[in-house]
């Protein structure tokens, strides 16, 4: 157990205690929601974790760094940006995936770009976004998000 783990769990306990004091009924509702979403997210967590294992066992580090590493250049960055935009992984699980890629030789830039496009751009939800917010706004938001994800990644790669 590291400091972050302890911190997150302590924070959850403190919030839970405060919530219980303030409104037990609402807290019960929140816990019910939590249990449901835990079971909802768990299959995906397991699947991604198996994929991470396979990735580290079967894909050699040189391969990963060739595709998404420092020397992959802008093409590598674009590749991960597209992957992040298309894939529909819950962002909670994108972090361990990103960490394992980083460990295996991916660059900070590509990992940051991947997380950012993954969360900000939703190809799956784009039709819905267009219907509700209009074509112009939805396409502008997703398109510009793609560009700023790359900018954020490049800056992070430069300063970290």
Partner 1 sequence: MKKMMSKEKQKKGLVKDMLFLGITLVIAVVLLLMFPEKREPVISSSKGFFVEMILILPAVIILMGLFAVFVPNDVIVKYLGRSSGIKGIFLAILMGAFPTGPLYVAFPIAAALLKKGARISNIIASLSAWACIKIPQELVELQFLGLKFMITRLLLTVVFVIIMGIAIEQIILWSEKTNKHEQTS
Q: Taking CB under 8 A as the criterion, which residues in 112-131 touch partner 1?
A: 112, 115-116, 119-120, 122, 125, 128-129
Asked whether position 8 contacts partner 1 by CB under 8 A, the answer is yes
Neighbours of 99 (CB within 10 A): 13
Smallest distance from partner 1 to CB 87, Å: 12
Which window, 24-32, 60-68, 75-83, contacts partner 1 (CB under 8 A)? 24-32
Listed residue (112, 90, 94, 96) closest to 4, CA to CA: 96
Q: Taking CB under 8 A as the criterion, which residues in 64-123 touch partner 1?
A: 91-93, 95-96, 98-100, 102, 108, 111-112, 115-116, 119-120, 122
Q: Which is nearer to partner 1, 5 or 71 (CB)?
A: 5
Give residues with Cβ within 8 angstroms of 68, minimum separation 6: 76, 79, 80, 101, 106, 107, 110, 111
Listed residue (10, 137, 150, 24) closest to 78, CA to CA: 150
Asked whether position 4 contacts partner 1 by CB under 8 A, the answer is yes
């Amino acid at each position: 157990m590291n400091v972050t783990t302890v911190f997150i769990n302590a924070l959850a306990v403190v919030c839970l205690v405060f919530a219980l004091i303030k409104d037990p009924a609402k807290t019960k509702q929140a816990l019910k929601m939590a249990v449901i979403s835990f079971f909802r997210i768990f299959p995906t967590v397991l699947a991604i974790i198996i994929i991470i294992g396979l990735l580290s066992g079967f894909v050699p580090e040189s391969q990963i760094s060739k595709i998404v590493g420092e020397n992959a250049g802008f093409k590598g960055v674009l590749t991960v940006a597209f992957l992040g935009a298309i894939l529909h992984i819950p962002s909670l699980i994108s972090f361990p995936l990103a960490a394992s890629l980083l460990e295996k030789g991916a660059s900070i830039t590509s990992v940051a770009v991947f997380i950012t496009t993954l969360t900000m751009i939703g190809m799956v939800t784009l039709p819905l976004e267009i219907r509700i917010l209009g074509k112009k706004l939805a396409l502008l938001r997703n398109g510009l998000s793609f560009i700023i994800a790359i900018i954020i990644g490049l800056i992070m790669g430069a300063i970290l």
